[in-house]
Amino acid sequence: MERDAKNTELTERLELISSMIAAGRRSSESWGWTFVLWGVAYYIATAWAMWGHSNLAWPVTMISAGVLSSVIASRMTRGQPETMLGRAIGAVWASMGISLFIVLISLGMTGRYDTHVFMAIIGMMLATANAASAIILKWKMQFASAAVWLGSAVAACFGTEDQAWIAFLAATFFCQIVFGVYAMICESRRRRSGVVHA
């Protein structure tokens, strides 16, 4: 009797954890637009830096993308309850973004900025944030993004400058644009199916 009660309690806890993970993934799908926004921002900053030869390209573009993301996010989340899982995922991405910004600005200001280092740091930080989110949410597609970003970081360490840029631009396309669109499609399907079931 006691064993059955313990099994029932364990089953209920596992179901609760599974439902929390599913809710976290659904919540993350609603943030697919941020992946696309930042992917486009990376392309704009890259084009501006390469063709405009401006050291301001990356800081200005990243600050603009950050402000735009914050404004849209604050409007999206207004009045919605915050979950512990949502805060955890948000903390991973916020700490990655702040760390990345400070380190890259510091490298630029001290003259230690190098394309290989820049690409390796970006790839590694984005791989880490994607992997942490994927592990928390048990999301294979996001883990694939982490692997691609990590591959681009390794390519930056071992490849030529052109190979590093190609790896970065490819990772941006697949891990930001494609993954972001995939997440938005998942959210759209879920909403449509929710409307049908309602």
Segment 47-61, tens digit of pLDDT: 998 887 777 888 888
State the pLDDT confidence band at 198, using cuts at 50, 70 and 90: very low
Tell me, what's the pLDDT at 197? 41
Residue 34: pLDDT above 60?
A: yes
Q: 0.85 cut: is pTM over it? A: no
Q: Is residue 15 a part of any domain in this protein?
A: no
Residue 15: pLDDT above 70?
A: no
Residue 192: pLDDT above 90?
A: no
Q: Is residue 168 a part of any domain in this protein?
A: yes
Contact between 185 and 173 under an 8 Å Cβ cutoff? The reply is no
Mean pLDDT confidence for 68-82: 78
Tally of structural domains, the chain: 1
State the pLDDT confidence band at 139, using cuts at 50, 70 and 90: confident
Which range of residues forms the domain containing residue 161? 55-74+87-198
Low-confidence winner among 21-35, 64-78, 90-104 (lowest mean pLDDT): 21-35
Q: Is residue 166 a part of any domain in this protein?
A: yes
Segment 76-90, tens digit of pLDDT: 766 666 677 778 888
State the pLDDT confidence band at 196, using cuts at 50, 70 and 90: very low
Q: Is residue 44 a part of any domain in this protein?
A: no
